[in-house]
Structure 1
Amino acid sequence: FCRCGPGFRVSPAGDQCDDVNECEEQNGVCGDVGDCVNNLGSYTCTCPEGYRQVNGTSCRDVDECVEEAELCHPHGRCVNIEGSYQCVCDPGFTTSINTPSCDDIDECRLNETRCGLHGFCENRLGLFQCVCDQGYQVSQDEQSCEDVNECELLSSVCGEAECVNVDGTFLCVCPSGQDYNFMTAKCESIPKAPPVERKECYYNLNDENLCESVLTSHVTLQECCCTLGAGWGDNCEVYPCPVNGTDQFTQMCPSGRGFIPSEDLLYGLQFSDHYKDADECSLFGQEVCKGGYCKNTEGSYECYCMGGHYYDPIRLECRDINECLDEMLCDGGECQNTDGSYVCMCRHPLVLDPDSHRCVPVPELAEQ
């Protein structure tokens, strides 16, 4: 009669002790996660990662959160689960892919317009901050920038004027006919600009009959004196224009001859960079280019005359060219000047050669 030890049983013949295969005969001997390996007289449980053998015959979950206290720190907490653990991260952090910790979430990179059109997103550890433009403030939920109502925030910011809030700023509005003075915070009447004087412009002050030297009427002092005028006035009472190159001329015409104030400066302060080119052709019409075509240029003008004429810049007119002053013309005959041209009068038997403009004998008569 055989008496067998643990892990063995008497053979059917009763003459020996056979090994018991616990892995086959005992269901779940290693639990739900371990693998059972039979050996002589016993068995061993092989445990997966996250579990630990207990006496070699069972698998027990490892509590990583207890054994490794620094897991998930400093921006998360460790939660043990069966066979593993999880990092529960603080708001603004996410589980790291590479290490057992929590990484900061860059909210600004995820959404570049997070703070809206009037703010800049600045990432911070575990959160983000909206840096707002002037006239805006961070909203109550700290997720965007919203307009500051200066009229409510600063009750007397406009003094006696009405405060009107607009997006990003505010306006101080006065009644019609008044303008707001930021220095005194008061509404003041808009001063009426004096009317600009417009008089006649004279080209030559040396003419005996001065009133016949009028270039045009109804122009300002600078439209006259900064262009072609020698004097400005009316009823033959003339203010002489300063001579170009003098200090008086520079004060009146800071940008030089041919440039006059822009229209918006006629009533206020004048600066050299607010002057425009004077269109002499428009200001003076045919008076500066009699008998020709006037073309405005930057700071001046050009007068184009018809053939046979030249422009006289003193008389401001196109004048006939006296071709007969050229002794080479009408050689052997008599030159008679005409308006814009000339005529050659040849004495018989001479005739005019159209190529050389000379009087030559008739070929047939010369041969005889």
Structure 2
Amino acid sequence: MGTVCFSWHFCLFFALLFTGRFAGGNGVPDADECTEGTDDCHIDAICQNTPKSYKCICKPGYKGEGKQCEDIDECENDFYNGGCVHECINIPGNYRCTCYDGFMLAHDGHNCLDVDECLDNNGGCQHICVNTMGSYECQCKEGFFLSDNQHTCIHRSNEGMNCMNKDHGCAHICRETPKGGVACECRPGFELAKNQKDCKLTCNYGNGGCQHTCDDTDTGPVCGCHQKYALHSDGRTCIETCAVNNGGCDRTCKDTATGVRCSCPVGFTLQPDGKTCKDIDECLVNNGGCDHFCRNTVGSFECSCQKGYKLLTDERTCQDIDECSFERTCDHTCINYPGSFECLCHKGPQLTSNIQRYRRGMVFLLT
């Protein structure tokens, strides 16, 4: 029997009640505060609607209980430095790594790699450009010496003690003094040595030749590496270790004196990048050693046999199945064939309509 509605509001009440539009049956509709914008979640929080209420969750890169969220400063820890090997810059909800001059950011977004300035217009050097970690230097051919701009070369003179004959012995810059002598100076980032001729590298120039961290000492810069990297035997370069993203290896990673060494399991081959493993299709060579069928799988392969054969324990060889060795294969005489068998009748009876002759997967009726 149908329900009679006495008024529109009365019917609407029951419609909402029986369609689950009232929360908890208390007669109050469940409002979606997140959609309506009536929540009080922080601007850097995500609003999630729940039965009878809602909850606020701070976005990634922020911390708090949802109604108050503050940015997480990933760069705050000086030791870890956000995982950046040079500089870490905190930004709202995130951070980014940057590198010193003479370096570029690696693909992982954290490590810094040396830039070879000599590849671009010979580094601006007139004669010879020599790349160094974090910088480069110009050199001159025999019979020339480097000018004060450290890029062009000046022909050597044999006249007296002046800056033109290069006998002054200054490692970098030579200045002639009013008294007719010479004085040596160093390029920015270098300090004049005690002999007043040589120049000592400091961390202010090309990061002291260090790939990651540099500390000035009395004997010159001392290089270090960000955590989970190891210092190379050259004392300047930092090499990957398996502790950082598995050394970039697809599969097995091994730490060596020169860095990580990647290897692949059986069924895979190491690609030219020295890190990626690619599946070997064993079926392409000699059918994988399979007698009949070879199917390649990820990291391996499998053999299978034609109908009427079985795969032996070596998982490659196919052997004929002797159907005649099974009970009740034929009523009278059973003749086995490679991959098949045949049933024959004794003289007198005829082969019934059950049809019991099988050859190479086909069925034959004996007449």
Asked whether the two chains share a fold, i.e. TM above 0.5, the reply is: no
Q: Return the TM-score normalized by structure 1.
A: 0.32
Who wins on radius of gyration, i.e. which is larger? 1
